[in-house]
Structure 1
């Protein structure tokens, strides 16, 4: 019985990229501080990511041998376009943080994401992002000891 490789290259490359980034991030954080308190969450999360990612990586090497229900679905051009647009809007979110603040950029990103994936009611597209960011900014104020850049809630 031969185990012929049938590689799903897109899946393989994506998982390999995630695993490489996880290893780099862990060692970068560890080189900055080896304090157990700083690595308490990062260590187990990195380990779990590496274990699950390695399993997934091997699955992508034998994709033709997987049962039909476990094979990844192919994206249509429309779905791929939405995913690429969502990634682009996240990049814009990150670059707009210094000017719009976390709350402003976050509210716009949530609104764009919801519209991109089918929400059409204007009141939901306005109210939900604002309420979400209000809750997040309040939680940030309670949890983090430093100021979070904000434009809609400047007292934070």
Structure 2
């Protein structure tokens, strides 16, 4: 049995630290064919995404990938980023966070066609999910223009059995 990478755990920890302290968590991503992001916002093969509570809908950060919906230019888009493509997770206000090595040789990165990437839906059985404003009926803001979260707007973790 192979050991699970620590990278997704650190990513979730930095995300939680950012939200607990009222910072806006951002995620820097190396774009490859398996990454599903709006290509018009990709610069030099990279994109920086606002993954705050107010900028995302249906955010799911598991051990394989980060998936959510976000608005870009007023249009809702599906975002899918394998953990191996994440370069950093950090607070936009002060730059504190963690940078990671991009590992494009991970099994989930090789030979996967974009059509084989799962649709973003409710989390599968046994996974944790971050509830979002869209699920509670609140309006989501544009991913690129979201303002820092207030302490009362923390995401909540729900374990699905």
Instruction: State if a TM-score over 0.5 links the two structures.
Output: no
| TM-score after normalising by structure 1 | 0.23
Point out the structure with max Rg over C-alpha: 1
Of structures 1 and 2, the one with the larger relative CO (CA 8 A, separation 6+) is 2
TM-score scaled to structure 2, two decimals?
Answer: 0.23
More helix by share: 1
